[in-house]
Each structure stands twice: as C-alpha cells, then as structure tokens.
Structure 1
Amino acid sequence: MNRIVKEIFSPSALVTVLAIVASFIFGGVLIAFSNEAVQTTVSYVTARPTDFLSALWNSVFGAYDAMFRGSVFNYRADEIGQMLRPITETLAYATPITLAGLGLAVSFRSGLFNIGATGQIVFGAMFAGFVAINVPLPAGIAFFVAFIAGIIGGALFGALVGLLKATTGANEVIVTIMLNYIALLLLGFLLKTPVLQAPGSVNPISAPVPEGARYPLLFGEQFRLHAGVFVMLLAVVAVWWLLNRSSIGFQFRALGHNPNASRTAGINIGLTYVLVMAVSGALSGLAGTTQILGTEKFLTTGVAASFGFDAITVALLGRNNPYGVLAAGILFGGLRAGAVTMQANQGVPIDIVLVVQSMIVLFIAAPPLVRSMFRLKAEKGGVK
C-alpha cells in the first residue's frame, strides 16, 4: 500500500506529461461529441466521410486554437496589447493557484495530506482584507501590513491543523476538509455583519481595498496582472531552498519519509507537524493576499474560487517539486483563461475544461493506467 501511495505522489516525468496528453485527447473526444456539426455529419458518414472528418477536425482544432488564443497569444488581434493580453490573464490566474500549490507541496513532501488550502486562502484573504480596509495607514505601509496579516492568517489556520494532529492524533485530511467549510461559512457570516460588510450594503461584500494597500498593476488598468506574480516567483525559489537546502526542510522531508525514524533521530515530531502546516498555510494565505489585494479588491464568499482544490492537482502534477508546481500552475492558469475564449468563440461548454482537469487528476493518480494506454514498461521497483 505504501508503494502505491508513493507512486501516486511521485510519478515519472514521462508519465506526468502523458497524463496531460491523455487528458487533452479525452477532452477532444468530448468536444467532438458535443459539436452539432459532428453530430449531423455522423448520420451520413458512410456516404460522405469527408464531411464528418472535416467537422471533426474543425471542432477539435477550433476549440484548442481558441484556448491557445485565450491563454497564450491572440494572433488574430489587431493591437500588440490585445495580442499579449491572454498570457497576462494566464499568469493572473496562475499566481494564486501556484502559491497554494506550493503550500500543499510542502505538506505532501512532509507526509501530511493537507486538503485545506481553500480555508487557508480564505483566512489569508480575510486577515489581509480586514487590515487593508479598516486600519488607516500610509500607502505602501498599508500594503505591507495587510500583506503580512494575510500570511499570518493562513499560517495560523494551517498551524491549527498541525496542533490538532500533534496533540490528539487527528487525521489531517478530515480536519482540513471540515475547516474548509468553517472558513467559508465564517466568511459568509462576517460579510453580513459590520465586521466585513461594506457600509450601507445589503449584499455580502466588503468595502473596496484602498489603492495604497493593493498590489501594483504591471500594465495598467486594462490588464489584471499585478506584482503578485513576482511574489509567486520568489515563493517558488524560497520553497525550493526551504525543502532542499535548509535544516528545517530536511526535518520536513525526514518526517515525510519515516516519522518513527525521525523521532528516533531526535526530531520533535509534534513541533514539526505544526511548522509544516504553518508554512503550508502561510503560502495559501499568501495566495489569499493576491486575490484580495490584487485581482478581486473586494472580499466576497467566492474569493478563494476553486483555487484550493486546483492546487491539489497542481501539487500532484508538479510532483511536489516547486519548479514543477510553477509549470503546473501556469498550465492550470492557461486552462482557466482559455476556457472563456473557447466557450465564446466555439460554443464549447466551459465544463469541458473542468473535465480535462479532472482527467489529469485521474491519470496522475493511476500511473499504471497511463503506462498501459501508451504501452510503457513499469519502472523498476514500481507498481505494476
């Protein structure tokens, strides 16, 4: 059983790439089946097969071409700004996903299955938003204080999980799932009270974050990309150093390999549980700051979106390696950005992208299935 778990969390790079390829192939099949032209031409495919093949090609290629134009480069646009807008949207989406994915990668590498990134994002956003909106400070200082508050909020909410596990032996999977609901429901409640609700509003929404407490926009008001992308890149390097070059990171990894051996070696297991979850929560809280201080600028019940759950896939897809998580986060950011264009231009249901993401999870969690599909030999010592 332990070997199977290790294989799920550490698939080979080739299996990871093929899992993505298989997911896009499966998505292409769904696109073709949902296309009206394909459905029409299939009824007389034996009489005029070229009509069916043409419709099949146009549906699949058109959808993925639209996704490319919506996520990477819009070569049909007239202005250079509009041509480059898609990649800025991809990076705007990728920033919180990657930060939360880094947090989960830290916990996964340490043997803790943190499923609570959503709640930690929410707490980071609540702390940062409350401070930014309610604490009058000069511009710049207001941002810095709100930024730190968001990190602290996520860290405290994550550390709570580590503390419960260290003191009571509580299962972190169940605890983090339940805390997600607590965080979301608490946010919904506070947005209906004077604590967070905008003055005079009847809707569950906060007052806007002041300009001086926001991440600076990189390319003006017409683009959503902000300086949080540089924070995300710095976090990738910092997490790599933490896990691979620091003594604390060594304790984290030792805990993930064998808690009993770590205890014998003199590592304080209880304290390490708390530290792991605090770091993991801090990174998700940082993702929350990019939402409230950068992209959204208002606190709502949807501030965490689905980033917390996407982060699980991103951490798995990135093989819990910070640079792999960065690549996976950009991929998922591209899927989110491209899905809108794909639906608008080709009429492809946006749910197709969610299916592709779900298939990536399925294939990543079943390396033997991917190997059998592409006729690969099992790795030496792997699960056959």
Structure 2
Amino acid sequence: MSRPVELPRWADIGLLPLINLAMALAVSAIVVAVIGLDPVQVITQLVKGAFGTRSGLGYTLYYATTFTFTGLAVAVAFHGGLFNIGGEGQAMVGGLGVAAVSLAFGNSLPAVLMLPLAVVAAMAFGAAWAAVPAALQAWRGSHVVITTIMFNFIASALLAWLLVNHLKAPGGMTVETVAFADSAHLPGMHELLAGLGIEWPRTPLNASLLLALAAAVGVWALLWRLRAGYELRAVGHSPEAAHYAGIHPRRQVMLAMLISGALAGMVGVNELSGVQHKLLLDFVAGAGFTGIAVSLIGRNHPLGIVLAALLFGALYQGGAELAFEVPGFSRDMVTTLQGLIVLFSGAMARVAAPALSRVVMALQPRAAVAAGAAHG
C-alpha cells in the first residue's frame, strides 16, 4: 500500500485544487471539441455570461450565496469526522422555518424584528432536522451517511404534504403559499447599493450574500480560533484519542451536525426571504448536493469554499447564457463540466499530488539557498 503524499498546507489547499480544476477544464475542452464546438468560444462565452455584465455577476453571486451555505454545512460536519449528505433536506426544513414565521408574524412585526426571526428560524429548523441523524450516530451507531440520505426523502415528502394539504394558497393551482408580507422580504442588493449611491441592476442577489460571508468567517473562527472547534477537529481526526484527552465524542458529533444543519437551513433565507417571498415545492433544487462538491473543491476550508461556490455560481449562470448564445450547446454540457470538476476534485483529488510534491521539494532547496543569501 502506497503512503499518502504529504504536501505543504499552502500547496494542498491553494495549489492542488487549481491543478485539479485545470485538468477538469482541459478534459471538458476535449469533450467540447469532440462534439464539434470551439472550446475557446465556449469558455469565453461562459466567463462573459457569468462575469461580463453586472446582471450576470449578480446572478453568479446569488447562486454562489446558496452554495456557500451548503458547502460550509458539509465542511463543518467533515471536520467533525462526519459526512453530512443531508444538506438538501436540512435546507428544505430550514425553508419551512422561514415560511412558518413569515406567514405567522409578517403582518404584525416590523422588518427589523421579522428578518432576524426568519434567520433564527431557518437555522433552528435546519439544526433540528440534523439533530436526529446526529443522535442516531452518536448513541446508536447508525451511519450518518445513510440516515441523512433517508432524511432528505422524508423532508421532501413532508414539504410536499404540508404545501398540498395545509399551506397552499387558497384558490390557486400552483403548489405554493401566499406571498410573505413586505416586512419578511430581505432587501435586494440593488436596494442596499442604491442607498450607497451605487447603481446596480435588479437581480436575485440579496443581503443573504453578506450573511454567507459572515458565516464563512464564523466557521473559520470556530474551527481554528476557538477551543470548541479544536475539540471538534480532534474528534474528527481520532475519536479514541480525543476521548482519552477528555473530549466527549458524542457531544462533538451533535455539535458538528447541529451547526451543519443550521448552515444548510440558511438556504431558505436566500431563496425564500430574499427572492421568492413565498414557500415553493422545489426551492432548494439540488443545492444541498452541490454543496458536497463545493466543499470538496474548497478542501473544506471556508476561503476555498467561497471560491468554489463562486466557481459553481459561474457555471450555473454562464451555462444558462451558453445555452442561448452558442448553437448546439445545452445545459447537459454544463452538468458534464460540473461532473468532471467533481471527479477531479473528489475521487481523483490526489492524482496530481505526487507530481506536485516533487516540484515543491525541488523548489524548496532553491528557496532556502536564496533566503540564506539574502540574509547573508
């Protein structure tokens, strides 16, 4: 059995994902060329569609906001030694929390109280949905991968049952609730920037972007600056050693999953409070599963996750533009590109590590010699 290749942290977190991404793009270019399209034109149009206009950038950041929440959710659980695949269901139930408080209190509370209440409800409902698989893992040994997958289906069925039988707007054919009151509408980014004298087109991008960035900073501080995060990571590395050191693994399992579920639940704030302003049947649309890829590409680090979320946001928005602008290109090709990125960043994430390790080791002596000459 070959030993795992050790890389400096800067190379493992910063450089290796870029190499994996470059390999995925290279293979994608070959696939695009095989079907008779110009790879340069496709990549150029994708980048232009995602970042070339303010409107395109707004949509890219809107998608990236959702993927940041779900990517952080996967990463927190991963550092606790858990693989939470239940972000999809936790996001659905978080949206139920947003809808519950928005419909119940939207007409009686001002926005200054209503919006924080919606955020708290999203986090609480998402955390509560993650608590059951966490408890089953901690006290009964039920594997969290299996239970969280099962809970995705349960959440989907629960959301459909509640919408069809109890929450559906009376007299309408569409399976959705009545619109939230104005106090439950999260400000759009165009409104916030207008207050600063900056003109910005109306897009789905809203104040949830700021919440996502705050969540990324909070996760970084928790995991690498607080004792609670150290204990969580210690359990993730070795539950037996952590227990010997006086850390309770069961508590850390619960903590990791509760935080993970709360972060996934925040998808409901972006999608419902920020954009739809009502509860829909399929508002998550696979974002929980995309968060797994985002976390893998970001190496489970908040900064990497934000950048990976931006990448997937660009793929979603740029892919939509490609489908309109490039004849013969379909959304299925964007899905293929996403799959290749996941392949190279997940299952084949360490393929380039040996070669990268040799390059780093070859350059380190030169760097040491140069540093010594400078000091001399």
- Tell me the TM-score normalised to structure 1 length: 0.84
Trace 1:58-207 onto structure 2 (pairs within 5 A). 59-73=38-52, 83-135=53-105, 136-140=107-111, 141-194=113-166, 196-207=167-178
| Pairwise CA distance, 1:292 | 1.0
Would you say the 8 A contact 2:13–2:298 is kept in 1? no
Match of 2:333 in 1: 352
SS at match of 2:165: coil
Whole-angstrom CA distance in 2 between matches of 1:203 and 1:131: 21
Q: 1:12 to 1:144 in 2, by over 3 A?
A: closer
User: What is the identity, as a one-letter code, of the residue corresponding to 1:134?
Assistant: A
Q: 1:2 to 1:265 in 2, by over 3 A?
A: farther
Match of 1:367 in 2: 349
Output one character per residue of 1:348-378: Cα deviation in whole Å (capped at 9) or x when no partner.
1111111111111111221343458xx5456
Trace 1:259-270 onto structure 2 (pairs within 5 A). 259-270=239-250
Q: 1:279 to 1:335 in 2, by over 3 A?
A: same
Whole-angstrom CA distance in 2 between matches of 1:117 and 1:379: 38
Match of 2:264 in 1: 284
Is 1:213 equivalent to 2:213 in the alignment? no
Q: 1:185 to 1:153 in 2, by over 3 A?
A: same
Q: 1:379 to 1:207 in 2, by over 3 A?
A: farther
Q: 1:161 to 1:317 in 2, by over 3 A?
A: same
Output one character per residue of 1:143-178: Cα deviation in whole Å (capped at 9) or x when no partner.
221221111001111122211111111100000001
Q: 1:359 to 1:3 in 2, by over 3 A?
A: farther
Q: 1:5 to 1:109 in 2, by over 3 A?
A: farther
Would you say the 8 A contact 1:92–1:295 is kept in 2? no
Whole-angstrom CA distance in 2 between matches of 1:142 and 1:266: 41
Would you say the 8 A contact 2:67–2:309 is kept in 1? yes
Unmatched runs of 5 consecutive residues or more in structure 2: 192-200, 361-376
Match of 2:215 in 1: 235
| Pairwise CA distance, 1:15 | 2.5
SS at match of 2:220: helix
Whole-angstrom CA distance in 2 between matches of 1:369 and 1:244: 28
Question: What fraction of aligned residue pairs are identical, expressed as a percent?
Answer: 32
CA RMSD of aligned residues (A): 2.5
- Tell me the TM-score normalised to structure 2 length: 0.86
SS at match of 1:206: coil
Unmatched runs of 5 consecutive residues or more in structure 1: 36-55, 74-82
Would you say the 8 A contact 1:161–1:274 is kept in 2? no
Match of 1:45 in 2: none
| Pairwise CA distance, 1:2 | 12
